[in-house]
Amino acid sequence: MKILVTGADGFIGSHLTERLLNNGYTVRAFVLYNSFNSWGWLDYAPQQIRDNLEIFSGDIRDPHGVKEAMKDCDAVLHLAALIAIPYSYHSPDTYVDTNVKGTLNILQAARELGVKKIIHTSTSEVYGTARFVPITEEHPLQAQSPYSATKIAADQLAHSFYAAFNLPVVTIRPFNTYGPRQSARAVIPSIITQIASGKRQIKLGSLHPTRDFNYVADTVNGFVAALQSEKAVGEVINIGSNFEVSIGDTVNEITKIMNVDVTILTDEQRLRPEKSEVDRLWASNAKADRLLGWKPEYAGLEGFRRGLAETVEWFSSSANLARYKSDIYNL
């Protein structure tokens, strides 16, 4: 199969692109066009990966480029999105253009070209603060940020194309993915990069919210399982560890691994507005097990500690750490 991966230059997308190539797929990597000819994280992939990649530089917001990129592809794994929640507070238009219109461009092109499967990427943020746990796919959708509102809209568009046109769409809903290459706008890389840079007073936002963290290898396995499953079409499927941990406890686990003591300073600019904060996330992954045969390999507290250790090791490399600006807030 020939697979188009949008957002292939990003955190999860680059890991997924490498996995697909290693599994024998032909991959066309859709990366955001820029005059630097940067392929994002794919620039740092092993030479064997880069030699076997087909790169398409474009913009998910442009329907003509999207359709051109999709020609002769059997399947599309659509990960391209704007995801930083604080940025969505002051620049919501660009989230509508990228997350909603960009997804529409993918769906319309896939329909016109007869693509055999579309994997659409959702997010646990669409659930908002949990009304019940563990969160199943039937949980109400609650837009608590402009970002989550655009992802709900994109999810509904994806479902509408399945319902109206029988487009073979699968919606994968990853909970909080972490691991090597993640942007420091996310909490785990923010903690690690501050400590690895020598800081012992680290700046964070709220410590009480809980998250269902998933190591990137598990998330990638979920995408591959959805691509290969015949049962997943038309479905929304959580990819989560079924393990809940607070941000405060996450800090404690990281400091144990890095063997440091830290003082936490509350940084006001890192706090979400009160009603926008998602206080609790905890995934049910029973449906993923039933339809995809997927289970997290980094499950429970032991798996979380193992994933954190691998993440700390990667970020602690001087070459990797140098790519981050740990002294400033990464919006």
Tell me which residues are annotated as active site.
147
* 60-71 b/e (C-beta count within 10 Å ≥ 16 → b): bbeeebbbebbe
Distance in angstroms (rounded) separating the CA atoms of residues 304 and 306: 5
Structure tokens at 140: 């109400």
Structure tokens at 13: 């997308």
Q: What are the beta bridge partners of residue 30?
A: 6, 56
Contact 188, 211 (CB under 8 A): no
Q: What are the beta bridge partners of residue 54?
A: 28
Mention every residue, 6+ apart, whose C-beta is less than 8 A from residue 181: 11, 14, 15, 41, 216, 314
Question: What's the count of helices (H) and strands (E) in the chain, helices before strands?
Answer: 13, 13
Contact 108, 167 (CB under 8 A): no
Mention every residue, 6+ apart, whose C-beta is less than 8 A from residue 73: 2, 3, 4, 28, 113, 115
φ, ψ (nearest 5 deg) of residue 65: -65, -40
User: CA distances (Å), 295 to each of 12, 107, 248, in order?
Assistant: 18, 28, 26
Collapse the DSSP code of 27 into the 3-class scheme (helix H, G, I; strand E, B; otherwise coil) and give the result. Answer: strand
DSSP string, 236-257: EEEE--S--EEHHHHHHHHHHH
State the CB neighbour count (10 A cutoff) for residue 96.
Answer: 18
